[in-house]
Chains A and B, each alone.
Chain A
Amino acid sequence: MSTLVKASAASAPGADPAAPFDVERVRKDFPILDQEIHHGKHLVYLDNAATSQKPQVVMDALGRYYGADNANVHRGVHRLSERATEAYEGARRRIRQFLNAGEDREIVFVRGTTEAINLVAHGWGRRFFKAGDRVVVSEMEHHSNIVPWQMLRDELGIELAVIPMDDEGQLELEGLEELLTARTKLVSVVHVSNALGTVNPVERIVQLAHARGVPVLLDGAQAVPHIGVDVRALDADFYVFSGHKLFGPTGIGVLYGKAERLEAMQPYQGGGDMIRSVTFEKTTYNVIPYKFEAGTPHISGAIALGEAIEWFRALDLAGVEAHERALLELATRRLREVPGVRIVGTAREKLGVVSFVMEGVHPHDIGTVLDLEGVAIRTGHHCAQPVMQHFKVPATARASFALYNTASEIDALVAALAKVREVFC
């Protein structure tokens, strides 16, 4: 298991970057975790791939903003507006540092991963794609990285090509080079699969695509809560994620784009803040990233996301990674021991997710029984129906982990699955 060395009691959680990761100490930052969810059943939250819980500092940041700093950004000459603007732009800086992006202006605030991909589809795709051009996605994409491109396909006559995956849930990259034709205009793939947990070899994908001059978008929604991401080392053209899966609030997310890419893109929505000057004859657009941030943004959300990232970065990230790897290994081993359970997605490189089915029991029924035992998991197709089709299952049960989960919570999951068998088998 992970390191459980107690740091000095006086230090605030996460305050000392050298403090070894201590899951019990980190759990104290998440008041929601300490509750009885059904009579006599303590909450075991294993639905982190859907959304993570929020540390107290994030909730405090929201309260502090509305309680002390609330004003519109980039507009007022008054002190409060300056403070709000500083905090908002400060959050952008924190995100830039977190992703190791080169410049603050490469960070665009959006509602989440879905909006980020739609923004690129609109701003890049509609501007540069022509009939017969091709976008390459993979078989394990979330619907949010399929549907925007299908919409473009129907509108522009582009073609959608799919990198296949094998029965372990790993992408078959041998086929990728063939998919990268002269007409291929973008490769858009998921970094870590939300349905299977597979970590894709994105460095290799970027290399192959760039060798043919094709830009790459990486969907990092399920990667950033678990591993450090360096967009410059990856050389990703676009990298997108949601704040709420990264211990931040809902309704805020990030589109990272290389400056020259963002500059080439057309605006997404028109309105206030995204303009430089407007007359009825002509509008000049603002510079990046503001060109893409029309209207009053989710100021409090951005600030609180910045706070979440600061909280996360202050942890011993190597310790976090070791803890999460140990949890995943333990969960995988213990679930394999449950009679009738089959794990869906057995890639060599996985993070945070165990998807499974149980013989003779529909995942939805598993979910209900687990819930009554206090164990929260997700059941269904996980917005990745092509993945379900590949594995020929209507749905799976999915346990997904965050850094605050513990080995005893895996015990609770396994015990609850025994209850499922008691009822149905």
Chain B
Amino acid sequence: MSDLRDLYQEVILDHSKKPRNYRRMEDSCSRAEGFNPLCGDQLVLFVKVASGIIQDISFEGSGCAISKASASMMTGAVKGKTLEEADRVFEHFHKMVTGQPGDPFDAEILGKLAVFSGVCEFPARVKCASLAWHTLKAALKGEGQQVTTE
């Protein structure tokens, strides 16, 4: 039985109301736009990478609580990480939100992102949670790309 609080945990609500790293970055080395046509979520992600490490990351945009909180917490989770480490977090995150309720996940790698474990019980919201991550992948692959969740 899925419960409202499984999805909208306090941490998620907090990040959605006060998103961290929510700003434009003029000197980013890459950026990408993410768009979820289903619900109109859209975000622009700015990333600064040097020596294979994500030095800085920020975002702007509008969206539902889940997509906003996910973007906010993602920026916190990958800042200072190598590209390989960020990729590994993404893989684990993706597996968690698209898995079955109760599936084990690596709490060490995911850290605070584990609050999104309830998302897998809400199939309609998986795209909201993963939008920022797909956008990050696009940003790291090349400049100016637009990704959609469709």
CA distance A381 to B38 in the complex (A): 8
Q: Which of B4, B7, B40, B128 contacts A394 (CB 8 A)?
A: B40
Q: Chain A binding site: helix, strand, loop or mixed by DSSP?
A: helix
A424-B65 contact in complex given A38-B1, A368-B122, A372-B2, C-beta closer than 8 Å? yes
Q: Which of A55-63, A161-169, A358-366 contacts B (4 or more CB under 8 A)?
A: A358-366
- C-alpha spacing A380/B127, complex, angstroms: 14
Q: How far is the CB of A340 from chain B (nearest CB, A)?
A: 14
Contact across chains for A394 and B66 when beta carbons are under 8 A apart: no
A-chain residues with CB within 8 Å of residue B65 when the two chains form the complex: 361-362, 365, 424
Give chain B residues whose Cβ lies under 8 Å from the Cβ of A424: 8, 13, 65
User: Once the chains bind, are B41 and A364 in contact (CB under 8 Å)?
Assistant: yes
| Set of chain B residues within 8 Å of A419, measured between Cβ atoms | 4
Q: Which residue of A lies closest to B8 (CB)?
A: A423
User: Contacts A362-B64, A364-B64, A365-B65 hold; do A381 and B4 have CB atoms under 8 A apart?
Assistant: no
Contact of B38 with A380 in the complex, beta carbons under 8 Å: yes
B92-104 CB mask vs A (1 if < 8 Å, else 0) is 0000000000000
B36 nearest CB neighbor, chain A only: A364
In the complex, whether A369 has a CB less than 8 A from a CB of chain B is yes
A302 CB within 8 Å of chain B: no
- Knowing A39-B1, A423-B8, A423-B13, say if A395 contacts B66 (CB, 8 Å): no
- Cα distance A424–B4 in the bound complex, in angstroms: 12
Whether A379 is near chain B, meaning CB under 8 Å from some CB there, is yes
- The CA-CA distance from A362 to B41 in the complex, in Å, is 9
Q: 12 more A-B contacts (CB under 8 A) besides A361-B65, A395-B39, A424-B65?
A: A362-B39, A362-B62, A362-B63, A362-B65, A364-B66, A365-B8, A368-B124, A369-B8, A380-B38, A388-B40, A394-B39, A419-B4
Interface residues of B in 27-56 (CB under 8 A from A): 37-42
B125 contacts A by Cβ under 8 Å: yes
* Residues of chain B lying within 8 A (CB to CB) of residue A388: 40
Nearest B residue to A393, CB-CB: B40
Residues of B close to A365: CB separation below 8 A:
8, 64-66
- Report A's interface with B, CB cutoff 8 A: 38-39, 361-365, 367-369, 372, 379-381, 388, 394-395, 419, 423-424
B114 to chain A, nearest CB (A): 20
Question: Which listed residue, A39, A372, A379, A380, touches B4 by the CB 8 Å rule?
Answer: A372
Give the interface centre of B2, B3, B7, B65 by most chain A CB atoms within 10 Å: B65
Report the Cα distance A364→B13, complex, angstroms.
14
CA distance A364 to B62 in the complex (A): 12
Cα(A419)–Cα(B124), bound, Å: 20
- Residues of chain A lying within 8 A (CB to CB) of residue B122: 368
Which residues between 97 and 134 of chain B lie within 8 Å of chain A, taking CB atoms? Answer: 122, 124-125, 128
22 contacts between A and B (CB under 8 A): A38-B1, A38-B2, A39-B1, A362-B62, A364-B39, A364-B63, A364-B66, A364-B128, A365-B64, A365-B65, A365-B66, A368-B124, A372-B3, A379-B39, A381-B37, A381-B40, A388-B40, A394-B42, A394-B62, A395-B40, A423-B8, A424-B65
| A363 and B40 alpha carbons, distance in the complex (Å) | 10
Contacts of A379 in B (CB 8 A): 39
Q: How far is the CB of B68 from chain A (nearest CB, A)?
A: 8
Q: Kindly list chain B residues whose C-beta atoms are within 8 Å of the C-beta of A362.
A: 39, 62-65
Chain A's nearest CB lies how many Å from the CB of B97? 14
Complexed CA–CA distance, A419 and B39 (Å): 21
Whether the pair B40, A369 counts as a contact (CB closer than 8 A) is no
**What are the 6 closest A-B residue pairs judged by CB atoms, nearest first?**
A394-B40, A362-B64, A364-B64, A395-B40, A364-B39, A365-B65
Query: Quick one: closest B residue to A379, CB to CB?
Result: B39
Across the interface, do A369 and B64 meet the contact criterion of CB distance under 8 Å? Answer: no
Among B3, B4, B38, B40, the most chain A Cβ lie within 10 Å of the Cβ of B40
- The CA-CA distance from A309 to B74 in the complex, in Å, is 52
Hey, which chain A residues are within 8 Å of B66, CB to CB? 364-365
| Docked complex Cα distance between A368 and B2 (Å) | 11
Q: Which residues of B sit under 8 angstroms from A423, Cβ to Cβ?
A: 4, 8, 13
Point out the residue from B2, B8, B37, B39 that lies within 8 Å of A363, measured CB to CB. B39
Distance, CA A381 to CA B62, complexed state (A)? 14
The interface residues of chain A lying within 8 Å CB-to-CB of B8 are 365, 369, 423-424
Contacts of B39 in A (CB 8 A): 362-364, 379-380, 394-395
CA distance A419 to B41 in the complex (A): 23
Q: Which residues of A contact B64 (CB under 8 A)?
A: 362-365
Closest Cβ of chain B to A358, distance in Å, is 12
Q: Which of A361, A363, A364, A419 has the most CB of B within 10 A?
A: A364
Query: Within the complex, what minimum Cβ distance (angstroms) separates A37 from chain B?
Result: 12
Kindly state the separation between the CA atoms of A368 and B124 in the bound complex, as whole angstroms: 9
Instruction: Give complex CA distance A363, B64 in Å.
Output: 7
CB distance from A64 to the nearest CB of B (A): 35
